Every structure is written in C-alpha cells, then in structure tokens.
C-alpha cells in the first residue's frame, strides 16, 4: 500500500520523505490555510522533491471554473493530481481533465455508487473518507471494502485512496482490505512505529545493558 502524506507542511513532508515514507502528498483548502502559504508556491515546493502524485484541490463549484483552475494547478508540475469534489460538476471536470491526460483525485466520496461513477468518469484516484463516516456512526472501513469489490468486479483502474484516516487501526484495515493508497497526517504515520511492548522491551534491554557496565563505543 502506498503512503501519501496529508499535509501542506513542507518540513513534515521532508522528514518522512527522507525515510522513504512518502509515495505522494494530498492537500486541501483547510491544509493550505493551516500552512499559511500561497497554494501555488507551497505546492510547487512540494513537487520539487516529491516524485509521486501531489494532490492540489480546486475551489470553484461550477465545471467550467473547476476545469480552468485544474488546468492552472496542473501547470505547476507533471506530478500534480487535480483534486475535485464528488459532485456532478466535479465529475464533468474529472472527465475533461482525465481525457487531457491529467491525473484527477475525486474527493469527498461517501458511497460505493459515488466511487463507481467517479471511476467511469476517468478518476485516477477516488478518496473515500473513513473518519467522517465513523463520526456519524457509519462504518468507513466497510465503504473501502465495498469499493474494492466493485472495482475488482469490473476491472476499473481507479486507485482507492483511503482518506480521513485517524488511527493506526484504520491503516491496518485498509491494507488488509486492499486499498491502493492511504493518506494520513504526519503524526498518524509516525505513530505506526509505536507499540507498548516495544517500549517495554527496550526499557528492559537498557536496564540489563547498564548492569553489564559495558560500552560499544
């Protein structure tokens, strides 16, 4: 499973990139706001060192305006994935941009039917939101499983990009289900290394090592 980092914080991306943990990056208007930077400037900087897809989101609501914004964003770098909402106008935009050879990430997906029509419109990625479904007492992971089955049934090339990931369990289950990609904040990705038994075992090793009175260097 590929790891995308869900942030516009360049320093955080660089840290994970150095460890081989960055197969791509996803951003959205909220993350751009949090970064405090110009969308074109920060996206260009991210693309300068991240080789994989970098999602940059349109903010218009009509197809014509989305298409214009998408083309502008795609000029930043060849690895831009234009991010559009799963609305009818977003699907129109997806079709036009994908036909032009641009990568398109269709976001805010909350049903298998939405994922199906996004794939038919030529989406490169579909972004189902796990955490937001969990917030309203629906099973976000069940949606990932449903989309996987639908896509496998008909051989769609659209990649499942599991989004709104908030816990280590979300990552594990998405990998077991067969999501192609997951995107998560840096803190969630770094947290995958944590386990209470690892900490406990290391603590015991350090105590025993101290008793030997030895040094390696």
pLDDT, position 118: 98
Cα–Cα distance between 50 and 73 in angstroms, integer? Answer: 16
pLDDT, position 108: 98
101 part of a folded domain? yes
- Categorize the per-residue pLDDT at 70 as very low, low, confident or very high, splitting at 50, 70 and 90: very high
The mean pLDDT of 49-73, rounded to a whole number, is 98
Cα–Cα distance between 162 and 109 in angstroms, integer? Answer: 10
Q: How many CB atoms lie within 10 A of CB 128?
A: 30
Interacting residues of 177 by C-beta distance below 8 A, sequence separation 6+: 141, 144, 145, 148
- Single out the catalytic residue among 83, 95, 120, 207: 83
Tokens of 72: 């502008």
Nearest Cα to 128, choosing from 67, 88, 182? 182
Structural domains in the chain (count): 1
Sign of torsion, CA 91 92 95 101?
Answer: negative
Q: Helical H runs in the chain?
A: 10-17, 29-35, 39-47, 63-74, 88-99, 112-120, 130-135, 140-154, 168-177, 186-191, 196-212
- Categorize the per-residue pLDDT at 13 as very low, low, confident or very high, splitting at 50, 70 and 90: very high
- Pairing between β-strand 181-184 and β-strand 54-57 as defined by DSSP bridges: unpaired
CATH number of the CATH domain containing 44: 3.20.20.70
Percent of the chain with pLDDT over 90: 100
Quick: pLDDT tens for 129-154: 999 999 999 999 999 999 999 999 99
130 part of a folded domain? yes
Which residue range(s) make up the domain with 137? 2-212
Mean pLDDT of the chain: 97
Cα–Cα distance between 12 and 185 in angstroms, integer? Answer: 9
Beta bridge partners of 55: 26, 81
Examine the residue annotation and report whether 200 is marked as an active-site residue of this protein: no
Phi, psi of 26 (to 5 degrees): -120, 140
217 part of a folded domain? no
């Amino acid at each position: 499973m590929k790891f995308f980092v869900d942030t516009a914080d360049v320093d955080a991306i660089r840290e994970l990139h150095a460890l081989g943990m960055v197969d791509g990056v996803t951003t959205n208007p909220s993350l751009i706001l949090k970064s405090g930077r110009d969308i074109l400037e920060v996206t260009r900087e991210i693309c300068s060192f991240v080789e994989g897809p970098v999602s940059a989101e349109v903010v218009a609501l009509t197809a014509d305006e989305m298409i214009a914004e998408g083309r502008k964003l795609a000029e930043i770098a060849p690895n831009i994935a234009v991010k559009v909402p799963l609305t009818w106008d977003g699907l129109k935009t997806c079709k036009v941009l994908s036909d032009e050879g641009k990568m398109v990430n269709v976001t805010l997906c909350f049903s298998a039917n939405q994922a199906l029509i996004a794939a038919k419109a030529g989406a490169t990625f579909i972004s189902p939101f796990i955490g937001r479904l969990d917030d309203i007492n629906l099973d976000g992971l069940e949606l990932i499983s449903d989309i996987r089955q639908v896509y496998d049934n008909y051989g769609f090339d659209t990649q499942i990009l599991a989004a709104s990931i908030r816990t280590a369990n979300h990552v594990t289950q998405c990998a077991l289900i067969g999501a192609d990609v997951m995107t998560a904040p840096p803190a969630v990705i770094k947290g995958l290394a944590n386990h209470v038994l690892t900490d406990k075992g290391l603590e015991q090793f350090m105590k025993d090592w101290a008793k030997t009175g030895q040094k390696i260097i």
